[in-house]
């Protein structure tokens, strides 16, 4: 930037003529100000003095500035709010300086000095001051570009959040540090039945009934104290007194290491709860009748087998018994599936060797007799899985033996940590006929209406694996049979010492 001073020969001319020239005192005054400052003739708005910070800010040297009028500095001669600069300057000039030579109040406004990229917006303050016996219009400038850009970005983000809040068919809300509602969308108001003014400042816990309010309070404590995201199911207490099944998920809003609030999502789960309840009743009734009637079938068929001497008829009756027993096992698996889905278990650290031992102890001894099961499970493998994991292994071993047509079925259960060190592999392999394509198609989504799988076993194993964050893969074993691999995450904590670990609740 240049630093050309105006012609010093004009210093002694009076400013009252409308062609005021700067005196050395005026220039010294302006240059002594550490922030960008201009001094203008109050009548013509001609710039008569500018300091170096002002020249750096506006992008003109001081000599050039003293050849310009104040309105000439901007891209337009109006403020951001649309008021002409000349009118703002006139308002500032109309104020009477005090005993110290300056006015108490300043005319403040935002002004775009340069558009485009880079853009320059300033905060300006105009006031009159008596300097060296003459009145001058003193203009203070500060760069507001970064602030305006940040405000614009915040406004954009706020509009985006508002648009999402209005679009998502869920209740969204934000709570203060004290746990009271500060923002929410229309869905929350609709769910609760409260008007906006009734929700403002209301404690989140007060929206739930007495029986479940403590659970919400405990969840908020974990959010604010531990910075954790927490989900709970409770009963929303509406303005009309209705109790609505509700699923609530709440997480922390942080400022550095400090939790300063919470955000949450709420969902009315009335329909889902009713559907689950009706399905559970239907399943229990069907399973009970199913089991009782099939026991009758197997009982009478067994008596018929003992009463007949016809080998062909005996074979047909034995097929009836085998089919009935298979259906009974299907009913038992459906009970386990219902329990798994209703409990929604969480993964926990589980030592794999004890889990396999527990699984083999649960295999029907009648099935296990006559088969050879080799086990190779390192003692130090600890995986992240749900407590149902032994049941999945039991299902795989039982199927591997039961559906094997060899005289002495062989099953191998092995495990190893994978090279990634984040995953472990549990494999159950056999020398049987392999898994039919229709059974595999169920898990890959390739099942057609004409090719239905015959059971729930593989589904159950797959659901147990995925509930803990793992996966299931089916291939052919080296012996020509099936090879089922469960990929399980390696746990980052020691296993839980719990004798009831492998006993999911009924």
E-assigned strands of 333-371?
A: 348-351
Model-level pTM? 0.48
Average pLDDT of the residues in 303-320: 88
Residue 405 burial by Cβ neighbours in a 10 Å radius (0-12, 13-18, 19+): exposed
Q: Could you tell me the pLDDT band of residue 463, with boundaries at 50, 70 and 90? A: confident
The predicted pLDDT at position 31 comes to 93
3-state helix, strand, coil in the chain (%, to 5): 40, 25, 30
Nearest partner of 485 among 420, 418, 398, judged by Cα: 418
Q: In this predicted model, what pLDDT tens digit does every residue of 380-433 receive, in sequence order?
A: 999 999 988 999 999 899 989 988 888 899 999 999 998 877 899 999 999 988
Average pLDDT of the residues in 157-161: 78
pLDDT at 275 over 90: no
Range ranked top by mean pLDDT from 79-93, 155-169, 288-302, 314-328: 79-93
pLDDT at 287 over 80: no
Nearest partner of 474 among 506, 502, 437, 446, judged by Cα: 437
Nearest partner of 231 among 243, 242, 223, judged by Cα: 223
Q: In this predicted model, what pLDDT tens digit does every residue of 142-155 receive, in sequence order?
A: 999 999 888 888 88
Distance, in Å, from the CA atom of 145 to the CA atom of 151, rounded to the nearest integer, reads 10
pLDDT at 496 over 80: no
Higher pLDDT, 233 or 290: 233
3 state DSSP class of 381? coil
Provide the phi-psi class of 59: left if phi over 0, else alpha when psi is between -120 and 50, else beta.
left
3 state DSSP class of 31? helix
């Amino acid at each position: 930037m240049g630093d050309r001073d105006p012609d010093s020969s004009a210093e002694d001319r009076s400013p009252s003529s409308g062609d005021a020239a700067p005196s050395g005192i005026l220039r010294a005054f302006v240059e002594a100000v550490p922030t960008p400052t201009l001094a203008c003739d109050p009548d013509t708005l001609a710039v008569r003095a500018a300091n170096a910070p002002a020249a750096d800010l506006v992008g003109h040297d001081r000599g050039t500035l003293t050849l310009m009028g104040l309105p000439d500095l901007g891209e337009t001669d109006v403020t951001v709010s649309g008021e002409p600069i000349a009118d703002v300057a006139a308002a500032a000039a109309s104020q009477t300086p005090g005993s110290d030579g300056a006015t108490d109040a300043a005319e403040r406004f935002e002004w775009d000095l340069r558009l485009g990229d880079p853009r320059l917006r300033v905060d300006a303050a105009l006031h009159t001051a008596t300097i060296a016996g003459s009145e001058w219009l003193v203009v203070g400038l500060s760069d507001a570009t970064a602030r305006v850009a940040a405000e614009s970005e915040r406004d954009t983000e706020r509009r985006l959040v508002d648009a999402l809040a209005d679009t998502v068919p869920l209740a969204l809300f934000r709570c203060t540090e004290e746990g009271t509602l500060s923002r929410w969308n229309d869905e929350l108001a609709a769910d609760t039945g409260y008007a906006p003014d009734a929700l403002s400042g209301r404690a989140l816990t007060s929206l739930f009934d007495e029986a479940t309010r403590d659970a919400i309070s405990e969840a908020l404590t974990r959010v604010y104290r531990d910075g954790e995201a927490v989900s709970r199911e409770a009963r929303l207490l509406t303005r009309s007194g209705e109790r609505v099944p509700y699923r609530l998920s709440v997480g922390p809003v942080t400022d550095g290491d400090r939790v300063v609030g919470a955000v949450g999502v709420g969902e009315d789960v009335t329909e889902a709860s009713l559907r689950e309840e009706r399905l559970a009743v239907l399943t229990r009734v069907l399973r009970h009748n199913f089991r009782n009637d099939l026991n009758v079938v197997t009982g009478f068929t067994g008596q018929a087998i003992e009463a007949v001497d016809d080998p062909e008829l005996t074979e047909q009756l034995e097929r009836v018994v085998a089919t009935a027993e298979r259906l009974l096992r299907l009913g038992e698996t459906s009970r386990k599936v219902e329990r798994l889905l209703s409990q929604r278990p969480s993964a926990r650290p589980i030592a794999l060797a004890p889990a396999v031992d527990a699984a083999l102890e649960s295999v029907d001894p009648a099935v296990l007799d006559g088969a050879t099961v080799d086990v190779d499970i390192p003692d130090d493998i600890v995986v992240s899985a749900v407590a149902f994991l032994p049941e999945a292994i039991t299902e795989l071993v039982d199927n591997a033996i039961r559906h094997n047509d060899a005289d002495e079925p062989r099953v191998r259960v092995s495990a190893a940590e994978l090279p990634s060190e984040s995953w472990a592999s549990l494999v159950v392999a056999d020398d049987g006929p392999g898994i039919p394509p229709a059974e595999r198609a169920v898990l890959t989504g390739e099942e057609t209406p004409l090719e239905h799988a015959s059971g729930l076993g593989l589904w159950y194993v797959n659901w147990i694996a995925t509930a803990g964050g793992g996966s299931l893969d089916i291939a052919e074993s080296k012996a020509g049979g099936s090879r089922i691999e469960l990929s399980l995450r390696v746990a980052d904590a020691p296993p839980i010492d719990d004798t009831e670990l492998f006993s999911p609740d009924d």
